[in-house]
Amino acid sequence: MAELKLMNINKRYPNGFHAVKDLNIYVSDGEFLSLVGPSGCGKSTTLRMIAGLEDISEGELYIGNRLSNDIPAKDRGIAMVFQSYALFPHMTVEANITFGLKIKKVPEKIRKEKLNWVLELLDLKGLENRKPAELSGGQRQRVALGRALVLDPDVLLLDEPLSNLDAKLRVKMRTELKRIHKKLKSTIIYVTHDQAEAMTLSDRIAVMKDGKLMQIGTPSEIYNNPANKFVAGFVGSPAMNFISGELKLIDNKNYFVFEMGKIELPELLKEKIKESIKGKDVVLGIRPEDIEISFEKDNNSLTGVTSIRETLGSDDYVTVEMGNILLTVRVEPEKFIPMDEKCYLKLKGNKMHLFNKDED
Ligand SMILES: Nc1ncnc2c1ncn2[C@@H]1O[C@H](COP(=O)(O)OP(=O)(O)OP(=O)(O)O)[C@@H](O)[C@H]1O
Ligand SMILES: [Mg+2]
């Protein structure tokens, strides 16, 4: 069994820096979990503690049902691909990939088979005899991945393994990784800065900030029900729009009121207002795809002025100005929208989010 349990895990580096704070994560056997968060939030530190390359300052790590804090790295059944590949510079691609198998005294015939399997899988055929210095960054990264894959690890820790690949190869490798995961059924923890990767590959995503876990959930939970403003703003591109304002009860109806207008809030947000919203000062969040631009007034719409249109290939985005507030709105690429015109914005009621103002 290769489930992982992180219980109140903390990391304090010798210089006193508290890099990981009370982390509680349960990863089930065979799960693909992505770990995302801004640079410096503690992702690599977390992986290194799981791999046994870094001491755990406080808390308990279970691999399977074995308390593993003090088990040496080599006995954990874990393979890790590092952010900075860490290949042996004096060894060929072949020797790098099969190194771990030799250590484990795997017979040569099987070593060859596995080598050929990963060379094929990772598009490295023909490079067997090169040294790392003779490879591109993307090729090195694939060798590092190959070196981990041949070990059939119970747990695979991947620290931005595709970051040096070009866009096309990246998408190809993403599909490959999904296939590999399906086949090997390893438990995978995957660190990435690429949202599309996290969304498409993961069973669940864990979002970290400043060493703390902000939310863990399925990609759709994280995207559609962000636990706080930080997660809402971090996941999704272009980012969710935020407007600061306050809640007001007018004629017994809940309104969000801000300097440029007001909007009646749907019934569904009532529970949230009762339960988790503290005080009147709030931030309203709405994603670019959940706003509609129209040029006819509606009784529950906001008024703005269209200003810039940008194309992102499959989608177009229009910036709408409401005084100093800028909102990004997704529009269909074929749709004509005049710029510098007064427009009305309709916010999809069931897609509005409310956050406490002073909370992350
Ligand atoms: N050996 C160390 N001693 C002291 N502080 C460290 C050490 N290693 C990392 N840190 C600090 O711990 C924090 C977390 O680092 P970590 O490498 O885990 O971040 P990360 O989330 O992987 O970031 P990135 O996305 O940039 O790779 C950072 O603020 C970093 O400066
Ligand atoms: Mg890192």
Question: Which two three-digit tokens encode residue 150?
Answer: 């041949």
Q: Which atom of ligand 1 is nearest to the CA of 208?
A: 21
DSSP string, 92-151: -HHHHHHHHHHHTT--HHHHHHHHHHHHHHTT-TT-TT--GGGS-HHHHHHHHHHHHHTT
- Amino acid identity for residue 232 in this structure: A
DSSP helix/strand/coil, 212? strand
- Tell me how far apart the alpha carbons of residues 344 and 353 are, in angstroms, rounded to a whole number: 20
How would you label 245-267 residue by residue, b for 16+ Cβ within 10 Å and e otherwise?
Answer: bebeeeeeebbbebeebebebee
Q: Which atom of ligand 1 is nearest to the CA of 11?
A: 12
Output the CA torsion sign for 268, 274, 275, 279: positive
Q: Which residues pair with 322 in a beta bridge?
A: 325
- Amino acid identity for residue 128 in this structure: E
Please report which helix (H) or strand (E) contains residue 231, including its range.
helix 229-234
- Tell me how far apart the alpha carbons of residues 189 and 3 are, in angstroms, rounded to a whole number: 11
Q: Nearest C-alpha to atom 6 of ligand 1 is from which residue? A: 13
- Amino acid identity for residue 136 in this structure: S
pLDDT 10s per residue in the chain (360 long)? 699 999 999 999 999 999 999 999 999 999 999 999 999 999 999 999 999 999 999 999 999 999 999 999 989 999 999 877 789 999 999 999 999 999 999 999 999 999 999 999 888 999 999 999 999 888 898 899 999 999 989 999 999 988 888 888 888 888 888 888 988 889 999 999 888 899 999 999 999 999 999 999 999 999 999 999 999 999 998 999 999 999 998 888 899 999 999 999 988 888 878 777 888 899 999 999 999 999 998 888 999 999 999 998 889 999 999 999 999 999 999 899 999 999 999 999 899 999 998 776
Residue ranges of domains in the chain, CATH in brackets: 4-233 (3.40.50.300), 239-356 (2.40.50.140)
Ligand nearest to the CA of 38: 1
DSSP helix/strand/coil, 276? coil
Q: Nearest C-alpha to atom 31 of ligand 1 is from which residue? A: 40
Residues 235, 195: contact at Cβ < 8 Å? yes
- Tell me how far apart the alpha carbons of residues 69 and 50 are, in angstroms, rounded to a whole number: 8
- Tell me how far apart the alpha carbons of residues 212 and 200 are, in angstroms, rounded to a whole number: 24
CA of 208 to the centre of ligand 1 (A): 13
Q: How far is CA 236 from the centre of its chain?
A: 10
Ligand nearest to the CA of 41: 1
- Tell me how far apart the alpha carbons of residues 206 and 35 are, in angstroms, rounded to a whole number: 5
Q: Nearest C-alpha to atom 24 of ligand 1 is from which residue? A: 39
- Tell me how far apart the alpha carbons of residues 34 and 83 are, in angstroms, rounded to a whole number: 15
CA of 227 to the centre of ligand 1 (A): 25
For ligand 1, mutation pick of 17, 85, 191, 210 (most atoms within 8 Å of CB): 17
Chain segment 79-104, per-residue pLDDT in tens: 999 877 789 999 999 999 999 999 99
Q: Which are the contacts of 191, defined by CB distance < 8 A and separation ≥ 6?
A: 34, 35, 36, 43, 44, 47, 83, 158, 159, 160
Q: Nearest C-alpha to atom 22 of ligand 1 is from which residue? A: 44
Answer whether 17 contacts ligand 1 (Cβ < 6 A): yes
Answer whether 40 contacts ligand 1 (Cβ < 6 A): yes
For ligand 1, mutation pick of 9, 12, 45, 84 (most atoms within 8 Å of CB): 45
DSSP helix/strand/coil, 243? strand
Upper half-sphere CA count for residue 229 (Cβ side, 13 Å): 17
Ligand nearest to the CA of 42: 1
- Tell me how far apart the alpha carbons of residues 256 and 132 are, in angstroms, rounded to a whole number: 58
Q: Which atom of ligand 1 is nearest to the CA of 193?
A: 25
Nearest to 23 by CA among 38, 36, 10: 10
CA of 11 to the centre of ligand 2 (A): 14
